[in-house]
Amino acid sequence: MSTRRYLELIKNSSEEDLKLYIYIIKWELESKRDEVIDLSNRNKSSLQLILKELIRDKLDIESKYLEEDDLTEYENEDLDDFISTLFSRAQQTRGDISKQIEWLSEPRPLYFFSVLMRAVINNNITDLSYPVTSVDFKTTKIDFKTAKSTKDTDKYKLSKFAQMALAYANKTQFLASLKSICPNKTSSAQDSIARTLEYIAVSCHVDDQRVMLDIINDIENLYQVSCRYVNTEWNVFNSNDEKLNAWYYRYLMKKHPGTGLNETSDPIKQKHTVMCIFDVLCATTAQEVWDENNKDVAFKKVTKELTDSFSRKANSTPSQSKVFKTKEEKTLTFSEVDWTKLIEIAGSSTKNEIKAKLRELIDQELAHQRDRDERSLVQNVKGDSQSPDKSKDSEQSFNELFNKPSFRRHLLKYD
């Protein structure tokens, strides 16, 4: 029974399951705990071999006995208990991580998390109380990397104080594997973050686990602050002009290269990036600066500069000046009198029926205009002397239609 569970574990587990099991067992084996292992480019067969070897080491059972179901009663019990514990540990880890990052289900928080987590790692900071003024996205900060000696004995040359300083500087480096995850580069960023956090959670000390969870919670709190102060109705987020949006995306990426987001040509991802830059600037910039001599820049000033740049570009040519509209600019309102007339024309008081009737009337009007334009063009080509009278009669007939009582007032009217 236990051997069959073992074989099913090896054969039926997904690649992500195998990786998680490997990290769990590796951490439990003190002899292998400090070994650096990179599973990112391993295929399933390779992962299965690694897991088999770790299970053999953990239970001190030779592989041939595991494969051939030649185990003693005690070995069967140990194997069965081990597999049950492994499953339980994996499920608990996944459940805990899933609860911590369930707020990353939308692109906006996902981008925000990716940038803030990279900033945390690059700057070796764990204090994320709002505003996080220790982070500056205008410069690309060089990642802290421990100097590697060419001689093993060099590590003993460091003074005790230097070793303590080095350990302090590396306080967030156990999260470094998260830095490579970018929503602009992969369509499954949330899954990648979840799996990576699982691996980290089972292969780090309890103190580091607490640090990791605190950082995730702090980033979520900062995101809530950004949602409160970043107005999604600003024109910079509502433009439908892809060329204008692409220009603004490149402008912000050049102005704030420290976000670490990958470049993208996808218009949707470009808009997500623009929103993300505003969000992270909000989280890392004070809302107001009361002291005029204070060097800190207020977020309102930052956003004014950025939105003004967008507006100047949008208004630089007539064709661009009216490309973007806010929801308010695209929404029509009617007086009670006009609304009553619309109900009478549509024969219904439901919005969908009224919209359908308005679309029908608009289509009719456009069709009449095209007919008039076509008749005018044909008459001009033929040089028909009677065409002015026919055109006049046609226009008069059309005007009489819209002079009926039902059409006496304009259908569309701004209050």
Mean pLDDT of the chain: 80
pLDDT of amino acid 328: 52
The mean pLDDT value for 249-254 works out to: 96
Contacts for 233-237: CB closer than 8 Å, 24+ residues apart: 233/326, 233/327, 233/328, 234/303, 234/307, 235/307, 235/310, 235/311, 235/314, 235/324, 235/326, 236/274, 236/278, 236/306, 236/307, 236/310, 237/271, 237/274, 237/275
Q: How many domains does the chain have?
A: 3
Going through 303-356 in order, the beta strands assigned E by DSSP cover none
- On whether both 365 and 317 belong to a single domain, the answer is no
Closest to 2 in 3D by CA, of 101, 79, 117: 79
The mean pLDDT value for 273-284 works out to: 96
Name the least confident of 199-213, 265-279, 359-373: 359-373
H helices of 101-188, in order, are 107-123, 160-169
Name the least confident of 30-34, 76-80, 334-338, 353-357: 30-34
Would you say 65 and 157 are in contact if contact means Cβ atoms under 8 Å apart? no
- Whether 141 is in a domain gets the answer yes
- Whether 193 is in a domain gets the answer yes
Residue 197 has pLDDT above 60, yes or no: yes
Sign for the pseudo-dihedral over CA of 8, 12, 17, 18: positive
- On whether both 396 and 361 belong to a single domain, the answer is yes
- On whether both 315 and 353 belong to a single domain, the answer is no
- On whether both 275 and 261 belong to a single domain, the answer is yes
- On whether both 26 and 121 belong to a single domain, the answer is no
Closest to 200 in 3D by CA, of 229, 225, 232, 172: 172
Dihedrals φ, ψ of 369, to 5°?
A: -65, -40
Listed in sequence order, the residues at least 6 apart from 118 whose beta carbon sits closer than 8 Å to its beta carbon are 178, 179, 259, 260
H helices of 126-241, in order, are 160-169, 189-202, 206-229
- On whether both 15 and 95 belong to a single domain, the answer is yes
Name the least confident of 180-184, 203-207, 313-317: 313-317
- Whether 23 is in a domain gets the answer yes
Name the least confident of 43-52, 122-131, 142-151, 181-190: 142-151
- Whether 153 is in a domain gets the answer no
310 phi-psi bin (left φ>0, alpha ψ -120 to 50, beta other) = alpha
Dihedrals φ, ψ of 91, to 5°?
A: -65, -40
Would you say 18 and 91 are in contact if contact means Cβ atoms under 8 Å apart? no
Residue 401 has pLDDT above 60, yes or no: no
Q: How far apart are CA 167 and CA 34, in angstroms?
A: 16
- Out of 296, 326, 356, pick the residue that ends a domain: 326
- Out of 326, 356, 379, pick the residue that ends a domain: 326
- On whether both 203 and 268 belong to a single domain, the answer is yes
Q: Work out the percent of the chain whose per-residue pLDDT is above 90.
A: 47
- On whether both 138 and 79 belong to a single domain, the answer is no
- On whether both 237 and 91 belong to a single domain, the answer is no
- On whether both 125 and 273 belong to a single domain, the answer is yes
Question: Residue 372's CB: how many other CB atoms inside 10 A?
Answer: 14
User: Binning pLDDT at 50, 70 and 90, where does residue 372 land?
Assistant: confident
Q: How far apart are CA 241 and CA 243, in angstroms?
A: 6
Would you say 223 and 113 are in contact if contact means Cβ atoms under 8 Å apart? yes
Closest to 238 in 3D by CA, of 329, 118, 141: 329
Q: How far apart are CA 128 and CA 212, in angstroms?
A: 12
- On whether both 130 and 205 belong to a single domain, the answer is yes
Residue 159 has pLDDT above 80, yes or no: no
- Whether 256 is in a domain gets the answer yes
Would you say 334 and 415 are in contact if contact means Cβ atoms under 8 Å apart? yes
- On whether both 163 and 207 belong to a single domain, the answer is yes
pLDDT tens digit string along 134-149?
A: 888 987 754 434 333 3
For residue 357, what are the domain limits? Answer: 336-407
- Rg over CA atoms, the chain: 33
- Out of 284, 304, 326, pick the residue that ends a domain: 326
Would you say 265 and 323 are in contact if contact means Cβ atoms under 8 Å apart? no
SS3 (DSSP) at 52: helix
Greater confidence (159 vs 200) lies with 200
- Whether 231 is in a domain gets the answer yes
- Whether 189 is in a domain gets the answer yes
Q: How far apart are CA 22 and CA 43, in angstroms?
A: 14
- Whether 413 is in a domain gets the answer no
Burial 175-210 (b: 16+ CB within 10 A, else e): bbbbbebbbbeeeebbebbbbbbbbbbbbbeeebbe
Burial 109-146 (b: 16+ CB within 10 A, else e): bbbbbbbbbbbbbbbeeeebebbbeebebeeeeeeeee
Best-predicted range by mean pLDDT (20-29, 345-354, 388-397)? 20-29
Quick one: tokens of 271? 């808009």
pLDDT tens digit string along 385-394?
A: 554 554 445 4
Going through 220-311 in order, the beta strands assigned E by DSSP cover none
